[in-house]
Amino acid sequence: MANTRILSGRSVVVAGAGLAGLAAAVRLQQSGAQVTVLEARDRVGGRVWTVRNGFADGQHAEAGADLIETDHDAIRRLAGQVGLSLTPVLEGGFAFVRRDSRRYPSNPVSIARGFWPEIAKLCEPWVRAYRLTEQRWDSPIARVLANQSVADWLDQIRADRRIRAAVQGMRGFFLADPEELSLLALVDQLASESQGQSRFYRIKGGNDQLATGLARMLREPVQLHTTVLAVTQRRGGVRVTVSGSDGIQAKIAADVLVLALPATTLRRIVFTPPLPALQRRAIRDLRYGRATKTQLQFDRRFWQRQGRPRAYGTDLPIGAIWDANEEQRGNAGILTLLAGGSASIETERLLAQRGIRGLTDHLRWLGAAQASVLASRAVCWTDDPWAQGGYAFFHRDYDPELRAWLARPHGRVLFAGEHTSLRWQGYMNGAVESGWRAAAEVEALSRQLCSRA
């Protein structure tokens, strides 16, 4: 429980009104701080974005962050605090579809379940060694893993075509191709897997309700259309230079600043004094996965058949596929296509050359020819100026010892965001936990400042 007095009289600016920034802001306010939240977009939520316009039957779909899992305790708890409930979806999890060059696209060669445990078994020697290091990214084992790509590892173990296709299908998870992705990132994910089958959930009524609910809890409204340009630290506090939608600059003074922004946005901010050299490298070198997320609303839910999965990882150019709104009423239904890595480029090319038909042709094996498209929406997160990608991934060129610097405080400037999370990087849960961590660090800093006074 937050101490309602520890931050009394303190002013905190939070830059970024995604889940990380909003989670931090509410915690800080509960601790007595005067909180000002800045957001460059015209809405709160960041990469959590529920699309509610343009679909028949009043349906909606998640254009950004989508699924919550069983062990995502932070976001589940936060949703409960805001008065929101979760609804289970995608029972049975993801299967894998691999195309057959002779018969595709009319029929894939296989629809296989359980491909993830098979990959985990092949990776087990590395996972076991990595766990012995307590999953430290500054260990010699981490460095060996970081210096090779997943594609390199597949070559070393002489993986067959089936395994290579399954790993290629993980572009919809990591948002990176095997040639780009560090083997350390794969091993770290496998080493962190909880025991037992994880279930998937969404927030009933739309994930954006969590962001808007948190924003309503703040005493001061979020300042939208406000971009952070520069941060200056002095002995008595911080001064944040911002620009509004009209281009007019202003300065905001505070005791502490929480930057809950993607690394892609942090790179554009001028810091005085500068960030430490290693922290600048950590932010500069971090890559964000190419991601195009498309929602296709059909007049019937042809993919819902007895005994058939409702979610697929694939090696198809349209990426991963899953039921986007099985929990919603209406005859119509929405499929989500998440194209990560090179699949994002392929999807964008299909859309440019053939429109939605270019995507639905790759769904013929699922039964798309039986239905009509009522509406569609495609979002390329790589083109989004405030994200420039779906979420962070660790490239084979990324120095693993730099990872800790992503979350390291710089004087009165603290950092949050999914990219700073060690356990839940890439997830909404990681964003929430990072916001809570940053709020706790503000409290610790306040105590430190009080002891010096």
Residue ranges for the known binding site are: 39-40, 228
Sheet-wide strand order for 270-272: 249-254, 237-243, 227-234, 270-272
128, 141 in Cβ contact below 8 A? no
By three-state DSSP, how is residue 145 classified? helix
Residue 33 exposed, middle or buried by CB count within 10 Å (0-12, 13-18, 19+):
buried
From 43, 59, 20, 19, select the one nearest 336 (Cα to Cα): 59
Q: Which residues are annotated as a binding site for FAD?
A: 39-40, 228
Cis status of the peptide bond prior to 385, with omega within 30 of 0: no
Helix (H, G, I), strand (E, B) or coil at 264: helix
Whether 298 and 397 have beta carbons less than 8 Å apart is answered as no
Angle at 170 between CA 167 and CA 173, to 5 degrees: 155
- Distances in Å between the Cα of 288 and the Cα atoms of 23, 179, 222, 262, 282 are 22, 15, 26, 9, 13
Q: Burial-class residue 82 by CB neighbours within 10 Å (0-12, 13-18, 19+).
A: middle
